[in-house]
Structure 1
Amino acid sequence: MIDHVRDLGAVREATDRLLSAAGKMDNVSLAEPSRLPGWSRGHVLAHLSRNADALVNVLQGRPMYASSETRDQDIARDAPRPLDEQLADLRESAAGFLQAAAGTADWARTVTLRNGVTDSASRIPFRRLIEVELHHVDLGTGYELDDLPEEFVTRETDFLAKRFTGHPDVVATTVIAGGQTWTTGGGAGGGAVTVRGAAPEVMGWLCGRRDGSALITEGGPLPVLPPL
């Protein structure tokens, strides 16, 4: 069962870690490339701020973004700002999300996210946690996949495995990590493949942040996963 209250607590803790790390940067390092192609660290922080606003929209029954173009334009607009403005925006938008979540009554209802994706309102705090934790890693300031809480890694692996289940471009795949097993893919032709390795490496491969070279495969080559 999803525990949205506990997830909101995890969001607060992850946000505090992110703000502490970001606060150690300066304007020069903020403008340097992040680990995401084409994005500076400023782009990453701007995205996190606008994502918090967007999830408030979701919780309050509005479209997540006015359009994909508007989303991209807002990130590009906010990315070059100096560090003090970025931190203030990140802090305020994060607080706004937590406040909106605190006022949400019907956590069992279905909400609509970007590109028509639907989910339970109760999963929105975990979706925000994913954004904060993984994009903290994307900043490239010393916080790595191996530093992520073990429970988060397990849940994110489960989340991603379900996301690729039945995907037409992914062969049937058994994923083994941290003493747990998941099945995913299955929509593409070819024999079944087993992928195993350390939990952060497996999750990193599933979310496109590791190339999978540290993983062991059986039954065929490492499946090529589509972009998230």
Structure 2
Amino acid sequence: MTSITPENLLAELRRAAGVVSGITATLTEQDVAAASELPGWTRGHVLAHLAGIGNAMARQLEYAVRGETVELYDGGFEGRNRAIELAAGHSAEQHRAAVAAALDRALKAFGALDAAGWQKPISYRGGVVFDGGLALWRELTIHATDLGTGRGPETWSRPFCEHLFDFLSARVPEGARFVLQPLGLPPVAIGAAGGRSTVINGMLTDIAAWLAGRTPTLGSLRATAAADGVELPALLPWPAGVPVSN
């Protein structure tokens, strides 16, 4: 599988931010108020979330370089949701400005890192700055698709899809093993070694989209177990990065 380094992750972040900015620049007031690909969310909700995660991840880095940590969102998961609802109804121009400022802040923070900086601790998932960069890459790339402007999962790069295979292995149910078989590429096994095996065949981006809970766009996926065709297996929830209080 493709190895992601801090250097090429920074390039991927800049590329993904450019895609989001390009889409945002074209949206009218009607576009912003229209439904996104996410149930119950308008495009305004998605844009508010993108601005929020950009600022949140920038803040993780700003604290990390001082040897400190801070929670991802003020007020945790509830604070995140509150901020999204408050900003979702903003005008197209307000969204453009907010997204541009947040992405600029985040890219400047990542761009200023030295080699040691990528390994500084952050509170997000109890990880390091590099993990935060991967998270922002996921958020920008997947939510660019969720805006529903015609840029679907078929545009996801091979390195991104292979990263999702690794990150979303947490969605494989306990005791199960998925053998992901992208067309024309080597298979990738995720889940429990020796577990009940299901083979998922299809295009690389379609398999990644399915794992990410999005709609495959290039063709049909096929699942087999013990050489027999079966339904696509159920997935566990997306691995949450922000604790949800009970």
TM-score for the superposition, normalised by structure 1? 0.88
C-alpha deviations, 1:61-87, integer Å up to 9, x for none? 211012111110000011100011100
Distance 1:225 1:211 in 2: 15
Amino acid at match of 1:48: L
CA contact (8 A) 1:164 1:184 kept: no
Distance 1:36 1:209 in 2: 9
Amino acid at match of 1:164: R
SS state at 2:39 partner: coil
Tell me the equivalent position of 1:36: 38
Task: Within 5 Å, give how 1:81-92 maps onto structure 2.
Answer: 81-92=90-101
Tell me the equivalent position of 1:177: 182
Distance 1:17 1:183 in 2: 31
Tell me the equivalent position of 1:209: 214
The percent identity for this pair of structures is 24
CA contact (8 A) 1:2 1:122 kept: no
C-alpha deviations, 1:174-195, integer Å up to 9, x for none? 11115132222339x9832111
State the 1:16 CA deviation: 1.4
Unmatched tracts of structure 2, length 5 or more: 64-68, 239-246
TM-score for the superposition, normalised by structure 2? 0.82
- Alpha-carbon distance change, 191 to 150 in structure 1, aligned in 2, over 3 angstroms: closer
Tell me the equivalent position of 1:107: 118
Amino acid at match of 2:107: L
Ranked by relative contact order (alpha carbons within 8 Å, sequence separation 6 or more), the top structure is 2
Tell me the equivalent position of 2:133: 125
- 1:200 is the counterpart of 2:202: no
CA contact (8 A) 1:137 1:145 kept: yes
Unmatched tracts of structure 1, length 5 or more: none
What is the root-mean-square deviation in Å for CA atoms of aligned residues? 2.3
Figure out how many residues of one structure are paired with residues of the other and give that number: 221
SS state at 1:140 partner: coil
Distance 1:83 1:73 in 2: 20
- Alpha-carbon distance change, 69 to 40 in structure 1, aligned in 2, over 3 angstroms: same
SS state at 1:193 partner: strand
Runs of 4 or more off by more than 6 Å in structure 1?
Answer: none
- 1:149 is the counterpart of 2:157: yes
Distance 2:91 2:30 in 1: 9
Distance 2:45 2:163 in 1: 26
- 1:164 is the counterpart of 2:199: no
Tell me the equivalent position of 1:77: 86
- 1:27 is the counterpart of 2:29: yes
